[in-house]
Amino acid sequence: MNRQRVCVLGSTGSIGVNTLDVLARHPDRYEVVALSAMSRVDELLAQCLAWQPRFAAMPGREAAARLRERLREAGCRTEVLDGAAALAEVAAHPDVDTVMAAIVGAAGLAPAIAAARAGKRLLLANKEAIVVGGALFMHAVEEGGATLLPIDSEHSAIFQCLPEDRATWHERIDHIVLTASGGPFRQRDPKTLADVTPDQACAHPNWVMGRKISVDSATMMNKALEVIEARWLFNLTPEQIKVLIHPQSIIHSMVVCRDQSVLAQLGTPDMRVPIAYGLSFPERITSGASRLDLLTTPSLTFEEADAVRFPGLHLSWQALRGPEGTTTVLNAANEVAVDAFLNGRLRFDRIHAINSQCLADVQPGDCGSIESLLDLDARTRDHARRLV
Ligand SMILES: NC(=O)c1ccc[n+]([C@@H]2O[C@H](COP(=O)([O-])OP(=O)(O)OC[C@H]3O[C@@H](n4cnc5c(N)ncnc54)[C@H](OP(=O)(O)O)[C@@H]3O)[C@@H](O)[C@H]2O)c1
């Protein structure tokens, strides 16, 4: 069997590291051809020494130069690519079969679209790429003949509950239910959220993740982005996507069929499960996750998503009903607001105000190319920064 040649974009992040963990369990099936990072040179160096990939991509020239020098000293022959186009170049490289898109934020849009247009097997963790890219992203997947596989645990769960033949999805699905843990502030009085610190917001009860998605989980903007992601991945109307709080994160999401049969996917909260499924689909490989023992699992409980506690969640449906590009605006505003919060320039409870104000103020315009989407993204970021 030929080994799948894998490019891991964002290999130094939480999803990237989990991906390498799964790949390391199956050296007979996978070969790492390319890795990428933004700033963590030491981590990427260690990964290059361990995996000896053909390419390492770092957009920043200075960080790339440092990595190049350190690799040379260590006698490692990995070629370092830099500059704005380096990520798209490795993602579309003819020697790559599978791309794990695990960059955080809209920065992952261009490489994910490059992988889609080049017809890769595209494992999508980087939800912001599909939220920003919307129809253009899905068109690139179709045009390039790419195989798009969701990595977000909720979307992987939905995908696992559906048959392989996508043509049957439409007639089968009544609606889907995305589950949400409720994050670290599920039970906290919303009036006390003004003083929340970044470390408190990042202390997720069930998952260990990068800091941006952790803050998004605390505001439930992560679920808002997932609602938008689900709209595109499964070709649903906004009304067909529902959210339910499930604090134990054991049921990862559900499909409610036309006949009202409910299909769910369960498992311990471990991202290596959806990653392994994306890598091996339609087969199954071991992931390293521990077994779900229902006898020792606490009761599975469910709550309505509280609109007062989590106002951000409802911006997803608002954005989906707006003109094309509205979801790009929402994502850009949120990236600026979360960054400002993590850097001590914005109160936690002001993130929502920035996001909803940008939705009200920024007019999308043309969304027919990556350039126009990135222009809209940049315009929104400028506006959000002024508001911060
Ligand atoms: N973590 C999870 O459990 C989880 C679950 C579901 C979905 N996701 C999604 O997966 C994506 C990655 O999340 P994560 O938690 O793994 O994030 P993370 O730990 O912050 O890692 C992000 C990765 O992207 C790189 N990166 C950051 N900014 C970049 C830029 N401007 N250009 C190129 N590369 C950049 C980082 O490089 P440096 O290390 O050098 O900074 C790192 O390798 C996000 O879209 C998130 O929503 C994550």
CA of 101 to the centre of ligand 1 (A): 9
Q: Identify the DSSP state of 48.
A: H
Q: Which of 158, 213, 221, 268 has most ligand 1 atoms within 8 Å of CB, for mutation?
A: 213
**355 carries a ligand binding annotation:** no
Q: Is the CB of 12 under 6 A from ligand 1?
A: yes
Task: Give the pLDDT score at 208.
Answer: 86
Domain 4-150's class? alpha beta
Task: Give the pLDDT score at 204.
Answer: 84
Ligand 1: residue whose CA is nearest its atom 17:
210
Q: Identify the DSSP state of 305.
A: P
Name the pTM for this structure: 0.97
**2 carries a ligand binding annotation:** no
Question: What does pLDDT average to over the chain?
Answer: 96
Task: Give the pLDDT score at 1.
Answer: 73
| ∠ CA 232-87-100, rounded to 5° | 50
Q: Which residue matches tokens 């790429």?
A: 129
**299 carries a ligand binding annotation:** no
Q: Is the CB of 10 under 6 A from ligand 1?
A: yes
- Paired tokens of 217: 């989980």
The Cα-based distances of 367 to 202, 225, 328, 333 in angstroms read: 33, 18, 9, 17
**356 carries a ligand binding annotation:** no
Task: Give the pLDDT score at 33.
Answer: 98
**Length in residues, the chain:** 388
Residue 101, CB half-sphere, CA atoms under 13 Å: how many? Answer: 32
Say how many C-beta atoms besides its own lie within 10 A of residue 348's C-beta. Answer: 21
Q: How do residues 38-53 score in pLDDT, each as one tens digit? A: 999 999 999 999 999 9
- Paired tokens of 175: 């609606």
Q: How do residues 359-373 score in pLDDT, each as one tens digit? A: 999 999 899 999 999
Task: Give the start-to-end residue ranges of the domains of the chain.
Answer: 4-150
Ligand 1: residue whose CA is nearest its atom 35:
38
